[in-house]
Amino acid sequence: MTESLTIRRPDDWHLHLRDGAMMETVLPETARHFGRAIIMPNLVPPVVTAADAAAYRDRIMAALPEGQAFEPLMTLYMTETTDPQDVRRAAESGLVKAVKLYPAGATTNSASGVRDFDKVRGVLEMMAEIGLPMCVHGEVTTPDVDIFDREAVFIETVLDPLRRNTPGLRVVMEHVTTADGVNYVKSQEDMGGTITTHHLIINRNHILVGGIKPHYYCLPVAKREVHRLALVEAATSGDAHFFLGTDSAPHPDHLKEHACGCAGVFSATNTMSCLAEVFEAEDALDRLEAFASLNGPTFYRLPVSDETITLTKGAPVDYPAKLEGGAGPVTVFDPGFPLHWRVDA
């Protein structure tokens, strides 16, 4: 029985750090275990230009506690007025590693996203030319589509046509939540898919049965158990299409426990322990490194880390239920079972 596992230091390919007091609270939780992370640009106002990204990166590094090493990988928020040449310059400088496409209204702070995809054709074609990945929130937002069907409909009506019309565009379908998404990503070239910690563990019953559980509410919303099982199979298979993107998304408790609660699960603190439990249950601990540390850098054409972390199995780890900070308490994801794997960084 495996009691210790050493892997390359992992990266998080989908992370929300927010800004200000909230960033100061949550950034150390990611930097404790992860070497790099793709930083989401949906601030208010969003990170739209290279200058915005440079300023945000400076604020992140200023908030990093002394003694922690972490590299934020910056992204730009695509709008219908995004300048292709600004994107090109940002990518060629090494500052920006991807551009994020939010369909307008799809999730938190996405009101500035894209409604008319013809208006971003020039940006997409330039990105295909230089090999800059597009990270996409894969849901339609039309009100007549059921919230549990929005990922599947997005693939059919938006993503597949967009990719066919833009040959060579490299796409990351973020936070895949359905068997439909898994099957589509597996069948494509120049495409990756991130899977979150919480979508590997919860299904929609966790949100709704026995009363509404606001700290499990996220977008894309968790789906049926059959879809969760498809995600587990994809993540634990070692398939290079799939890699970790926690979508760790902090909100203060008073905005989660609210008449119109915010979408987002905060999992940066205990993700690696959660993943070790999931992979061990599937007899796949030998493939955790691929999912958390190797497949992502390979897709993004970046070197894998030459540092390592060691996970050790023992008595349950006593993670805090909440983080206290200047923006208010933030609830840490509760997987609903004991976590026996601890990270010895």
Query: What are the residue numbers of the active site?
Result: 247
The CA angle 225-227-230, to the nearest 5 degrees, is 115
CB 244, CB 268: distance < 8 Å: no
Question: What are the distances in angstroms from CA 88 to CA 25, 51, 65, 95, 137?
Answer: 33, 13, 32, 11, 22
Nearest to 275, CA basis, from 264, 263, 265, 290: 290
CB 224, CB 240: distance < 8 Å: no
Nearest to 26, CA basis, from 267, 275, 309, 319: 267
Q: How far apart are CA 79 and CA 205, in angstroms?
A: 35
Q: How far apart are CA 17 and CA 29, in angstroms?
A: 10
What is the token pair recorded at 72?
């934020």
Residue 173's DSSP bridge partners are: 136, 193
